[in-house]
Chain A
């Protein structure tokens, strides 16, 4: 059994793990206890094959494939980032005994993560694998393409590995191990497989009867979903999730759970704990159970839930169900996966925090939904319930997405960035400032919790250029960095060590820090590979075109000028009152904030003046005190001089406080409001494009009418084609415009919310500083009072 199970797993390992599991489950049902693993595998193999063969519906295969590919991907990513390759290999070797195939597969996977070669190797090992291999080959490529998925998978894989290891260690875990094996099979397929095979029988025996039915339905649904899952990503996730979830369920054994939990925790921090802790069960329950339960399918969901509760049983049920309906079972498995995926997506979000976020960000989920909806038909063959499940799933997926979104927001607080140690590098006019950018994060999307890179100022600008180019046109508000200051920088370059240049450097440092923090607080921007590269990568290619006076800068200026002209010429016929009002509000706020900034700057100047004047008065008073011939008065005067000296300090500190807490806050908003206006401009441009397209369409129509009138059928055809072409464009542009509008709206709302929050926080900060300074002032004068009274 073990061998057979092993065999079967190998092919499945990565993507098929789920399938395998499913198949195993199915097999378990079929063969129930004995060759559950083998049967499962075989069944799985069969099922895939059968699916491929019997069910011409390519979707089912794709789903499998997709499942597989993701796994492969997962492995690859895992290997690369985690350097888990070696680990995987070892594990695979260890496991080699049980399942050579697996080993090979794993080895391949590890070696050439996403390569079809690995798939091929896998295929050869297992008969069913061939199908899979094919599937994998195609699918694998697609999934690989998506980095995010890969990361997620990697993480999950890592978790799985750990879980798998745990499973293997504790024999009792075997049952769960089987599940794990399947799940983990991808990585530690061999060990897990063995365990699984052993476990499977047991699990089958236990679970088979009741759980199976439930599972079957879900599985069917899942399968239906999964088949449709043309999206390799989704399936992959699903598979991963499935495996994990199942594994967790299977793992029923505390050890395994614990181990799994721990690794996950470490990886994902809090989320993992939730998932695994209550977890797996709870997580799976949550998503699936929510909607599904209520509906007829609920039983299925319930089964899933029950799985979490009694993992083994559920797993067994699942398998049994799958086994029962071989093809459907497979489908189910896939569907299950998808479901689990859905569930997982939540779980994943929790577990993988970042990974889930990424997933949620990607369209996959939508695709999933579509898939699910599409799948139903396939599943229909298996079970009518599948459809309902699919719906429920899609609903749950939506929920998941929403949850994912919320989590993203929460994630904002899981990353904090500090910019420190400004350092002048080089001499003369070629000198530049470099800063230490330290990131502290709980997010699993980063390899480490804390890492530091060195960045020069133009790198910050380069990041902004990239981001605004990428996200600006979509209506995102990209936080702007502090402007280049030729004057300020020249002073620094010349090496003047006066207070104004130190002031300048400190101001800029703080502004850069706030800028980066704003970027990573933006859920979409955080996902941008450039942001991560900026934060993580040791060496960054030199940012070009950020020089204010360079050729590129000149070009930029020209572009801006043309933009400004076109902005003036575009007379937008605003249809949405909200935008009109908001734009007006933003523009007047922009103006007022600018004014306020000048005023606060002048306050700072006056405060510094006051500080200077107080200092000179203090000196003068000290002199006066020394000249005074009345001892008590002389003493009092020198005391007064001391008090005034302290006042000078207070005023100076207050001036710094005015600058850094207040003036800089305002300056930030001036910049941000500029960015907000930029997003409005992008919306207007989108509108203009749409209008232009409409005008063009109108013209074509007129031409057509003329041609019709002129009775020129030859040209008429051409005109009609053009009209069709432009109609498409118009709809496209209109959609673009709507999308940009929606984004702008969302972004502006987010901005407003953030602004209020941030403003309040900063202002309270500022006022508290002011308060402290006043309290200090009271203390100083109170100390002086007795001195004055002592004058005789």
Chain B
């Protein structure tokens, strides 16, 4: 399957999210993307006035794996430990629409041609929506990097944007995959260990409680919102079948009822479209928002973890220094280490505080924007429905 995205659609899709600095010095977008089997090729387009780039305007092809590589290198960079690293875009998932398409093909015999065509259209639209969403999350990831004062200067990021060949990032091999998994295990265990540590700063203490709580809540909300959106989608699908059956009925009918059935079939077809929009708008404005912030909060939690780790390190170095003093051995070394740890911790605390505060502001603005848009869209769709229903009632009454 091959699809591409055009610019105008993308503008609409960019709504999720994130309050980005509109810094004209580095503008990134993904104007085009190609989907070949499992691989999605994004065209990453950059427009810049920064001198660190060789050209002011260039495009490079990138794959999803390249984005993951970039994210991982950023996370692993010690200097960025005090920053909330923008969450990596999720892996494109075209499985569910594909599966549905497959099922549809199997069920073709039980449907009328018209019905089948409509279902297929619906699935294609769904597929396209997934595709657009995928492009969008990748784009947002890059935009957040570009709008960040430190991250935008990252060398790897610039290479990612500028290098005009395939990055040919090697896929993680099994060992690395296992290593990553092991690392996560260690981190989780570590988190549990660290959680016992006495917090020295109220701000971080509060922030930690808040984020932990918020994360579990938003995760739940995301799952529920997804379900709700899917239900809307199901209803829209039901409308398709009902409409198709009604029009078959009206085609066979020779009595006065024919017109009634006809109008009703029309109505359901139109209602279907509205319901489909309701579903996709809810997906875009609500579910996607929640999903993104779920990941973003995870990133913030990671920051807290890194800071807590540093705190533990610092305390350990303090203990080590005490021990050294007691033994009067290797004192300067220990002092130096303790100083380093303190510095690192202070630096992390400083930048962490800033990051978290800006994250809070970003989140509120994004929620505001999306909720308003969603309410407006809901109203718009409901009004459409009302018009359709009223029109149909009037039509029926006039028959």
Contacts and interface: CB of A to CB of B under 8 A. Distances in A.
A binds B: yes
Contact of A620 (B221, B230, B246): B221
A759 B261 CA distance: 9
Contacts of B241: 599
A756 B255 contact: yes
B190 to A, nearest CB: 25
A788 B252 contact: no
Contacts of A781: 375, 378-379, 382
A596 B257 contact: no
B126 to A, nearest CB: 16
B224 A620 contact: yes
B257 A756 contact: yes
B221 A789 contact: no
B238 A606 contact: yes
B129 to A, nearest CB: 19
Nearest to A771: B389
Contacts of A607: 231, 235
B210 A617 contact: no
Given A592-B249, A596-B245, A768 B393 contact: yes
A764 B393 contact: yes
Contacts, number: 163
A764 B397 CA distance: 8
Given A778-B379, A785-B375, A589 B249 contact: yes
A774 B242 contact: no
A777 B274 CA distance: 14
Contact of A788 (B217, B253, B368): B368
A755 interface: yes
Contacts of B261: 759
Given A603-B242, A609-B234, A764-B393, A791 B367 contact: yes
Contact of A756 (B225, B256, B372): B256
A791 B371 contact: yes
Nearest to A606: B234
Nearest to B271: A770
Chain B, interface SS category: helix
A592 B228 contact: no
Interface in B203-228: 210, 213-214, 217-218, 220-221, 224-225, 227-228
A752 interface: yes
Contacts of A603: 235, 238-239, 242
B233 to A, nearest CB: 9
B371 A640 contact: yes
A593 interface: yes
Q: How large is the interface on A (under 10, 10 to 19, 20 to 34, 35 or more residues)?
A: 35 or more
A559 interface: no
B193 interface: no
A449 interface: no
B220 A623 contact: yes
Contacts of B253: 585, 589
Given A764-B397, A784-B375, A593 B249 contact: yes
Interface in B315-371: 360, 363-364, 367-368, 371
Nearest to B207: A629
A753 interface: yes
B399 A771 contact: no
A131 B218 CA distance: 101
Contact of B375 (A585, A628, A763, A788): A788
B232 interface: yes
B246 A636 contact: no
Contacts of A620: 217, 220-221, 224-225
B386 interface: yes
Given A613-B224, A755-B257, A633 B368 contact: yes
A600 interface: yes
Contacts of B363: 630, 633
Nearest to B256: A756
B376 interface: yes
A190 interface: no
Interface in A698-752: 752
B59 to A, nearest CB: 37
B248 interface: yes
Interface string A765-789: 0011011001101100110110011
Contact of A600 (B217, B242, B254, B367): B242
Contacts of B267: 767
Contact of A599 (B245, B371, B389, B397): B245
Nearest to B233: A606
A621 interface: yes
A325 interface: no
B152 interface: no
Contact of A785 (B213, B376, B397): B376
A339 B17 CA distance: 90
Contacts of A778: 379, 382-383, 386
B396 interface: yes
A266 interface: no
Given A599-B242, A633-B363, A775-B386, 5 more contacts: A602-B238, A606-B231, A617-B227, A623-B217, A778-B379
- Which 8 A-B pairs rank lowest in CB-CB distance, beginning with the nearest? A610-B231, A756-B256, A617-B224, A791-B368, A788-B371, A603-B238, A752-B255, A756-B257
10 contacts: A585-B253, A600-B242, A617-B221, A624-B218, A756-B260, A764-B396, A771-B393, A774-B386, A784-B375, A788-B375
Interface of A: 581, 585, 588-589, 592-593, 595-596, 599-600, 602-603, 606-607, 609-610, 613-614, 616-617, 619-621, 623-624, 627-630, 632-633, 636-637, 640, 752-753, 755-756, 759-760, 763-764, 767-768, 770-771, 774-775, 777-778, 781-782, 784-785, 788-789, 791-792
